[in-house]
Amino acid sequence: MHELSLTQSIVDIAIEHAERESASRILSITLEIGAFSGVIPEAVEFAFDVCSKDTLAEGARLDIKRVPGLGRCMECHQQVELEYLTYTCPLCESLALETLQGKEMKIIELEID
């Protein structure tokens, strides 16, 4: 379960930023997790309580925004929502589909006190 180590890294990054701002605690962490990131959001939620225990992040709210897959075809120039990672355009069947979003996993907001 690589989500445990990813979640620990998220907590470590949040603590580093909170300490830099002399915060006494972290109130919330907001993440974006893409549909094609290979990360299971529910596993991150589960691991968060364990990773944040006895830290500035203990008791913090974890908000996860799920980012759907989105692609743009270089042939027909259409943007399409993607249910799975592919390089074939579902509209024109060209092999020139560029993935625009869905691979990301990042901290987008940190609320501290």
Domain limits, the chain: 2-112
pTM above 0.85, yes or no: yes
- Assigned fold of 2-112: hypothetical protein PF0899 fold (3.30.2320)
In the prediction, which pLDDT does 30 show?
98
In the predicted structure, residue 22 carries a pLDDT above the cut 90: yes
Q: Return the percentage of the chain with pLDDT > 90, whole number.
A: 98
Among all chains, which residue has been given the structure tokens 């990301």?
A: 104
End-to-end CA gap in the chain: 31
**Averaged pLDDT for residues 68-75:** 97
Q: How far is CA 61 from CA 30, 57, 77, 90, in A?
A: 8, 9, 40, 38
**Averaged pLDDT for residues 48-56:** 97
